[in-house]
Amino acid sequence: MNIAEWLAATARRRPYAPALLTGDKVVSDYAGFAATAASIAGYLTELHRIGPGDRVGVFLANSTRYLECLYGIWWCGAIAVPINRKLAPGEVAAIVTDAQASVVFTDEGSSPAVSGVTFVPVMGDDRLTNSGQGPAAPVEREGDDVAWLFYTSGTTGRPKGVMLTHANLMAMSWCHLADVDPIGPDEAVLYAAPISHGAGLYGLVHVRMGSRHVFPVSGRFDPGEVLSLARTVGRASLFAAPTMVRRLVHVARTQGEDGEGLKTVIYGGGPMYLADIQEAISVLGQRFVQIYGQGESPMTITALSRQDHADTGHPRYGHRLAGVGTAQSAVRVRVCGPDGRPLPPGRIGEIEVKGATVMAGYWRDPATTAEVLRDGWLRTGDLGQLDEDGYLTLSGRSKELIISGGSNIYPREVEDALTAHPAVAEAAVIGVPDREWGELVVAFVVPAEGTDLDEETLDRHCRELIARFKRPRHYHVVPDLPKNAYGKVLKTELRAAITAG
Ligand code: AMP
């Protein structure tokens, strides 16, 4: 079944219910939302010959039009390729090329040049919303047809497209209702984080339930705006990375706000420290649910429920609050040793997950798919342990992934950018723990002979090649890098050097 059917059904059931809002202003009801999606589908089909299974990129800042485009793509049976709006032109081009997308929706003036690809600015082209030729109902799709190509860049720096099917997205949405947060039609979802990631994935269930989709006027995450908007629209929920939760709590405390109007804050995507969630609860009250997931099993591995957050009398309350909760209802979770066999409770190993939300595989990459998916079990690359009650605690990542402010940063990508500078001979990048951002990117660079390096030059250079959020926050210029007998850089020694100050 095509997930766009949910929009069509809600538009029939509640045509005049407010659907899309900018700030507290309603810009479309459900009938209008569905009509625009159908029109965008018509535009794609008629003008660009897009059909079922074709890929269409979405490189847009958060806005009501973003959702209309997403559903327009699904309405004609195509596959959406949401692209993080913060990525640099070269990174966008790599994704678009890998996905073999021929059309990409963009904001005005933000299109990189990629041969054979048409970038369509979504504002100001009436044909998009008034094509009048859209199919009356979403094109038929099977559950195992791909709906969303979710791009993560692997350790090699090459983008990897996670194939999420219509059935994956539906199972994720049902888990949201069963394990994370039940939703009624009078509610609102507030988009504080990029739609290309978790916030967008969690919008789908709100379409099914017919709630309001609220976009902050600023178009970005402004904690003060989120608090006042929640108060105005009422019964609002939002998905936020732990860094965002910390900022929200800080502003609420400073302004003397108690989170009125906020029904639920769902957090995840990176580590939340125990002291931070305790502080969050003391300032904003019991409105929190944590989820642990990854692109390959979107938003859906475990959840730490609202009840778990509130069960302060439980003997293992502190332990539970420091973890990520129990398996969501569509999946099984296990922890395996290096030999691939499940470990008993209390032992640390690699977390594996199997069930209805697990991806179909990586786009055009059967070799990596086979490495990660075995007998339906997804190897997450995360390390952790289960307790006797089935509560999972994360210990760290087996991969080198750095998560800063909820965004993933792969050291290799940053190293590649640094070593592209002529004055850099070698570079190694690590993540170091940071209370504010979760982790900070730190670079060790060895200057090329006879050259001088300064932080400002390196920072300017990185900003040209990679997204701002990926660039190192600290540089250490060193004469050489510690290496093992095979010439591999010993990052453990670099980490130890930082810890030792
Ligand atoms: P992504 O595929 O971009 O969603 O990143 C997924 C990774 O983020 C996971 O494999 C974990 O390492 C990390 N992650 C996700 N949720 C949590 C959480 N609740 N606590 C700690 N780390 C998390």
Q: What are the residue ranges spanned by the domains of the chain? A: 403-499
487 C-alpha to ligand 1 centroid (Å): 31
pLDDT in tens, 196-206: 999 999 999 99
**473-496 per-position pLDDT tens digit:** 999 999 998 876 445 578 888 988
CATH 2.40.37.10 fits 403-499, yes or no: no
- The finding on whether 298 has its CB within 6 A of some atom of ligand 1 is no
Atom of ligand 1 nearest to the CA of 408: 3
Rg (CA), the chain: 23
* CA-wise closest residue to 204 among 71, 384, 372: 71
Q: What spacing in Å lies between the alpha carbon of 437 and ligand 1's midpoint?
A: 14
Spatial CA neighbour of 247 closest among 283, 216, 214, 287:
283
User: How far is 462 from 428, CA to CA, in rounded Å?
Assistant: 14
Atom of ligand 1 nearest to the CA of 301: 16
Protein residue with its CA nearest to atom 9 in ligand 1: 294
Residue 271 CA, closest ligand 1 atom number: 21
Q: How far is the CA of 174 from the centre of ligand 1 (A)?
A: 20
The three-class DSSP label of residue 61 is: coil
179-203 b/e (C-beta count within 10 Å ≥ 16 → b): bbbebeeebbbbbbbbbbbbbbbbb
Distance CA 293, CA 353 (A): 10
User: Would you state the structure tokens that stand for residue 181, as one six-digit string?
Assistant: 């947060």
Q: How long a stretch of residues is the chain? A: 501
Element holding 495 (H helix, E strand): helix 491-499
Atom number in ligand 1 closest to CA 407: 3
Cβ atoms of 23 and 217 closer than 8 Å: yes
Q: Which of 252, 213, 254 is nearest to 233 (CA)?
A: 213
Q: How confident is the model at residue 292 (pLDDT cuts 50, 70, 90)?
A: very high
The one-letter amino acid code at 382 reads: D
Q: What is the pLDDT of residues 376-421, one digit of tens each?
A: 999 999 888 999 999 999 876 676 778 899 887 878 778 888 988 9
What is residue 26's DSSP assignment? E
Closest C-alpha residue for ligand 1 atom 7: 294
Does the Cβ of 152 fall within 6 Å of ligand 1?
yes
pLDDT in tens, 246-275: 899 999 999 999 999 999 999 998 778 787
> Does residue 472 contact residue 462 with C-beta atoms inside 8 Å?
yes
What the block records as the tokens of 24 is 């507290």
Going by alpha carbons, the residue nearest to atom 10 of ligand 1 is: 294
Note the pLDDT of residue 156: 47
CB of 294 sitting under 6 A from ligand 1? yes
Nearest atom, ligand 1, residue 296 CA: 2
pLDDT value of position 274: 83
- For the chain, percent of residues with pLDDT exceeding 90: 76
Structure tokens at 310: 């509130």
* Of 148, 163, 291, 403, best ligand 1 pocket probe by most atoms within 8 Å of the beta carbon: 403
Q: Is 324 in the pocket of ligand 1 (CB under 6 A)?
A: yes
Reported as a single tens digit per residue, the pLDDT across 104-137 is 999 987 678 888 999 999 987 788 888 667 788 9
CA angle, residues 158, 484, 486, in degrees to nearest 5: 65
The structure tokens listed for 281 are: 């609860």
User: Does the beta carbon of 269 sit less than 6 angstroms from any atom of ligand 1?
Assistant: yes
Distance (Å) from CA 269 to ligand 1 centroid: 4
Q: Is the CB of 305 under 6 A from ligand 1?
A: no
Q: Sheet harboring 262-268: ordered strands across?
A: 25-29, 18-22, 212-215, 188-190, 236-240, 262-268, 288-294, 297-304, 326-327
Nearest to 347 by CA among 383, 316, 317, 377: 383
3-state secondary structure of 447: strand
